[in-house]
Structure 1
Amino acid sequence: MNKMVGKQSVSFSDPPCILGSASICGPKEAEGPLADYFDIRSEDPTFGKDSWEEGESEMIRQAVELAIKKADKKKEEIRYIFAGDLLGQLIATTFGIKDLDIPVFGLYGACSTCGEGLSLASMTVAAGYADCVVAATSSHFGSAEKQFRFPLEYGNQRPLSATWTVTGSGAFVVGKAEPEEGAIQITGITTGRIVDYGVKDSFNMGACMAPAAADVIYQNLKDFDRKPTYYDRIITGDLGKIGQKILFDLLKDNGIDISNQHMDCGIEIFDNEEQDTHSGGSGCGCSAITLAGYVLKQLRDGTWKRVLFVPTGALLSTVSYNEGQNIPGVAHAVIIERR
């Protein structure tokens, strides 16, 4: 039976599978070290549309349709979509998937949205409320900078602690499947709490999110009574170099060392020496396309057997930031295993 485990986790007795995935990226990501793993690499940051926001909608539309196709499904077989982005009222998602005519749950978990979507998708399938659902998310450098910081034309100088919002969209079809060797299964999840360490600097997302990542990783290991070595990789979403160091320090304070297993999507997705992204990559699309492209390939090939996927999000808005409020963080952990 599916069951609650510990304080914040769920274990699936008949784990749902990731039946298909798709990853789409923009020009800068297409020049990075993971470029060959992405399904679609666009040279046009607007994806043929008239604005960054419309381009982001086009990304998520293409990602969802491609994931469904790769899963060998029809859109009529998809019961629900769990999706979200960084923009106000989820406009990238809304306009991107509105013509698919599939029931939708709009999500906002900031850059942790991929983990949130996969968690809810897997619980829905495991509970028998759907045979097949989609989890999807996106982010765009231009639209995110315009909303949260400065218009790009302003040409402001970015501090070294800043991360570069990834232009990308990842989508996943989660569903029931016959258990077979090599199947990619979601065997459990740990839902994160909102953690607030009083950080106010929106140009240091790693410091905002690292405490939440440490909290949910610690809880996952405690709930399932596991050591970090159980996982081939513990993969955070977009902490970057500064956030990674904070994460290691916080976990070591609790007697846990994940340095040998840890990978951060924000560090891996860009070549910092060649691409000048400072602390690394960020945004909903950062962890989503890294999982859909790179991580799942390592699992399918058998290079890795199990990973703990932990997208991380900073919970701020233009209103909260301009009013001087703190920037809390949240992270969600998803256990993905090769059967």
Structure 2
Amino acid sequence: MTLKRIGTQTVKLENPPSIISTASIVGPKEGEGPLKEYFDMILEDDLWGQESWEKCESKLQEEAVKMALTNAELTESDINYLFSGDLLNQIISSSYCARQLSMPYFGLYGACSTMAQSLSLGAMTIDGGFADYVACVTSSHFSSAERQFRYPLEFGNQRPFSSQWTITGSGAAIVSSTGNGPFVTYVTTGKVIDAGIKDVNNMGAAMAPAAVDTISNHFKDTGYTPDDYDLIITGDLGFVGKDITSDLLKQEGYDISEVFNDSGIKIFAHKEQDTHAGGSGCGCSAVVFAGYVYKELLKGSLNKVLLISTGALHSPISTQQGESIPGIAHAVTISNSKE
């Protein structure tokens, strides 16, 4: 018998785990944006002393976890499980990070939804009594993502205005069975939604229907309304996807406009930094959550947040074969109260 499940897609955690620390590391471009004061480390270059962008991305994850552990006054041996994922083939950034860390490891792939996915699974693992401490981390890198999904940087192709700028960065969180919060109180797991979008330069439009489905079902399952949240923040819909999501939710009777924002919009000054539709990538919601959202919760400027990380579940092969782009969105309620 399921005792903690409510509605069709949501679980209410009986003993809400506490997020006891976070860490965020970003690249130079992200460090020039409006959230720069919230990040724990800003790189001077996008290689960070490594031989390749891919090795740099793996180092981003490793150092973000170590920094979060230091902030929590824990060691690697204290962690029962590491939940991590990234965008690259066979999630190599995460696996090569886990190679350096002495932790039992679950590798995740949810595309850019991975931060909320890792927090969901980590929180449920603790609430289920299977762990006392888990580490949740994800990353992305502009140059490694461009190389895999689009064109070589040397090609210098024209970027359409619907395109987004993949975040170079990693965000990590340590989730604990004890602590004073913020707490993960609800988890709403998304369904794969495919609106038939095939344009890889329009990720916002591809992911928006999944965000709408998850957010609306979260409200239906929990009985909450937009007024119950100080902030509803999506992962990386950008300007295009955010507008679509807001409009479609209004059609379903939910006006979230007063509390709605998007990590891909907040992280850049898009006109001054020429990021077109905004930021994207696994690292987008990860660093905005681990930096901005978490620190505002600690200050009490925010008390209840719905974090929805959004992902486009495509690959270079599926794109080349003319497939459409399925979307996914996972949501977690993070609150200063256990209610």
TM-score class normalised by the smaller sequence: over 0.9
Q: Is the 8 A contact 1:2 1:11 kept in 2?
A: no
Q: Is the 8 A contact 1:22 1:171 kept in 2?
A: yes
Cross-structure match for 1:324: 322
Question: C-alpha distance in 2, partners of 1:121/1:16?
Answer: 9
Q: Is the 8 A contact 1:2 1:126 kept in 2?
A: no
Question: C-alpha distance in 1, partners of 2:225/2:85?
Answer: 32
Question: C-alpha distance in 1, partners of 2:22/2:89?
Answer: 26
Q: Alignment partner of 1:111: what SS?
A: helix
Question: C-alpha distance in 2, partners of 1:99/1:59?
Answer: 12
1:250 CA drift (Å)? 0.9
What is the identity, as a one-letter code, of the residue corresponding to 2:260? H
Cross-structure match for 2:300: 302
1:54 CA drift (Å)? 0.5
Unaligned runs of 5+ in 2: none
Residue-by-residue CA offset, 1:47-103 (whole Å, 9 max, x unaligned): 110100000011001001111111111110101100000000011111122121211
Q: Is the 8 A contact 1:2 1:14 kept in 2?
A: no
TM-score, normalization by structure 1: 0.98
Asked if 1:159 is matched to 2:160, the reply is: yes
Q: Which runs of 4+ in 1 moved over 6 A?
A: none
Cross-structure match for 1:69: 70
Question: C-alpha distance in 2, partners of 1:190/1:236?
Answer: 13
Cross-structure match for 1:114: 115
Cross-structure match for 2:127: 126
1:94-109 equivalences in 2 (<5 Å): 94-109=95-110
Identical positions, percent: 52
Unaligned runs of 5+ in 1: none
Residue-by-residue CA offset, 1:208-236 (whole Å, 9 max, x unaligned): 00000010000000000111110111100
Which one of the candidate residues 303, 311, 314 is aligned to 1:313? 311
Cross-structure match for 2:61: 60
Q: Alignment partner of 1:137: what SS?
A: strand
Cross-structure match for 2:174: 173
Question: C-alpha distance in 2, partners of 1:88/1:144?
Answer: 10
Residue-by-residue CA offset, 1:144-188 (whole Å, 9 max, x unaligned): 00000000000000000000000000011011115x4xx210011
1:253 CA drift (Å)? 1.2
Q: Is the 8 A contact 1:2 1:13 kept in 2?
A: no
Q: Alignment partner of 1:112: what SS?
A: helix
1:1-339 equivalences in 2 (<5 Å): 3-178=4-179, 180=180, 183-339=181-337
More deviation, 114-123/68-77 = 68-77
Question: C-alpha distance in 2, partners of 1:226/1:99?
Answer: 42
Q: Is the 8 A contact 2:62 2:100 kept in 1?
A: no
Question: C-alpha distance in 2, partners of 1:141/1:226?
Answer: 36
TM-score, normalization by structure 2: 0.98
What is the identity, as a one-letter code, of the residue corresponding to 2:190? G
Q: Is the 8 A contact 1:59 1:169 kept in 2?
A: yes
Residue-by-residue CA offset, 1:8-46 (whole Å, 9 max, x unaligned): 000012100101100000010011110110001001101
1:260 CA drift (Å)? 0.5
Question: C-alpha distance in 1, partners of 2:17/2:224?
Answer: 22
Question: C-alpha distance in 1, partners of 2:124/2:38?
Answer: 28
What is the identity, as a one-letter code, of the residue corresponding to 1:54? K
Question: C-alpha distance in 2, partners of 1:198/1:250?
Answer: 16
What is the identity, as a one-letter code, of the residue corresponding to 2:80? R
What is the identity, as a one-letter code, of the residue corresponding to 1:251? L
